């Protein structure tokens, strides 16, 4: 679902930072070779992630849901010198393509790929993260959040993607629709959770910005 008219969406993109050519190439290859290319972070949201990361200047970033690596590269653009981005992906077939683009981006040495279920991997990471991007299975958002908040400190930022779920969060929910039900609970929980302050931004499919208190 487009929340804004295509005309306004184009206007917004045209008046924001341009997409780096490498990310245009990555998007093209994703559409040609990988299933569900609509999962990729696009130009506008990618530049939002990049700028947020530059404003935060994180030493350590955690991403849950790498896919082909688009958002990882955007977030890595804000890393401090010598900082690291850890990204977790359950589908091992994507590993090689991610690595190709991470190396081309210039952040290859700073991006560490983990293959497996994020819920198994997060507890094994002995790192305090300044910035976390949650972008994997919607039914597990609450579990990811609970796992990662233990790996943050006061002032850390947790971003959660697709929280408007194509607008389904304001429509009647079918009994079989577990993802929308989970996101409704997750969005309400973040608003009331006293460990974070939260705003839900209507960026693309909805991006929640939570600051750990
Ligand atoms: C929406 S895509 C991520 C898009 C990516 N962040 C980007 O912007 O290009 C979600 C990814 O999460 C992965 N995923 C799903 N469940 C997962 C899990 N339990 N642990 C790690 N990755 C998972 C999927 O295989 C998929 O590649």
Tens-digit pLDDT profile for residues 132-146 = 999 999 999 999 999
Contact 66, 94 (CB under 8 A): yes
- Count other C-beta atoms under 10 Å from residue 175's C-beta: 6
pLDDT digits (tens, 9 = 90+) for 23-73: 999 999 999 999 999 999 999 999 999 999 999 999 999 999 999 999 999
Distance 42 CA to ligand 1 centre (A): 15
- Rounded to the nearest angstrom, the distance between the alpha carbon of 65 and the centre of ligand 1 is 3
- pLDDT of 3 > 90? The answer is no
Kindly list the domain boundaries of the chain, sorted by start residue. 6-212
Ligand 1 centroid, distance to 163 Cα (angstroms):
15
Tell me: the pLDDT tens digits for 125-184?
999 999 999 999 999 999 999 999 999 999 999 999 999 999 999 999 999 999 999 999
Phi-psi domain of 113 (left: phi exceeds 0; alpha: psi -120 through 50; beta: other): beta
Q: Residue of the nearest CA to atom 11 in ligand 1?
A: 65
Dump the DSSP string for 170-185.
Answer: GSPPPTT-HHHHHHHH
pLDDT on residue 1: 62
10 Å Cβ neighbour count for 4? 12
Phi, psi of 138 (to 5 degrees): -65, -35
Q: Which atom of ligand 1 is nearest to the CA of 91?
A: 25
* Residue 2 confidence (pLDDT) above 80: no
Residues with CB under 6 A from ligand 1: 39-41, 64-65, 67-68, 70-71, 88-91, 117-118, 135-137
The C-alpha atoms of residue 75 and residue 69 are separated, in whole angstroms, by: 10
Count Cβ atoms below 10 Å from residue 46 Cβ, excluding itself.
25
Among the atoms of ligand 1, which is closest to the Cα of residue 94?
27
Q: How far apart are CA 147 and CA 172, in angstroms?
A: 30
Q: Ligand 1, residue 63: give the atom nearest the CA.
A: 6
Question: CA–CA separation, 68 vs 38, rounded Å?
Answer: 11
Tens-digit pLDDT profile for residues 84-129: 999 999 999 999 999 999 999 999 999 999 999 999 999 999 999 9
Q: Is the pLDDT of residue 7 over 70?
A: yes
Alpha carbon of 2 to ligand 1 centroid (Å): 22
CA–centroid distance, residue 95 to ligand 1 (Å): 12
User: What predicted TM-score, i.e. pTM, was given to this entire model?
Assistant: 0.98
CA of 192 to the centre of ligand 1 (A): 26
Q: Which two tokens stand for residue 143?
A: 């579990």
pLDDT for 81 beyond 80: yes
- CATH classification (class only), 6-212: alpha beta
Ligand 1 atom at minimal distance to the Cα of residue 74:
8
| 3-state DSSP assignment of residue 72 | helix
The answer to whether the beta carbons of residues 136 and 64 sit under 8 Å apart is yes
């Amino acid at each position: 679902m487009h929340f804004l008219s295509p005309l306004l969406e184009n206007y917004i993109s045209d008046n924001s930072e341009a997409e780096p050519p490498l990310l245009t190439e990555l998007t093209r290859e994703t559409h040609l070779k990988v299933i569900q290319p609509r999962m990729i972070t696009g130009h506008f949201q990618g530049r939002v992630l990049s700028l947020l990361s530059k404003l935060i200047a994180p030493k350590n970033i955690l991403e849950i849901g790498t896919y082909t690596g688009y958002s990882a590269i955007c977030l890595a653009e804000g890393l401090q010198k010598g900082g690291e981005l850890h990204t977790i992906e359950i589908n091992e077939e994507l590993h090689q393509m991610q690595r190709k683009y991470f190396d081309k981006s210039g952040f290859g040495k700073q991006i560490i790929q983990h293959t497996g279920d994020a819920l198994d991997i997060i507890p094994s990471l002995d790192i305090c993260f300044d910035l976390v991007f949650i972008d994997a299975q919607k039914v597990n958002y609450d579990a990811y959040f609970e796992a990662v908040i233990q790996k943050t400190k006061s002032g850390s930022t947790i971003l959660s993607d697709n929280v408007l779920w194509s607008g389904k969060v304001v429509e009647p929910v079918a009994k079989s629709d577990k993802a929308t039900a989970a996101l409704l609970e997750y969005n309400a929980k973040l608003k009331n959770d006293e460990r974070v302050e939260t705003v839900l931004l209507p960026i693309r499919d909805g991006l929640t910005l939570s600051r750990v208190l």
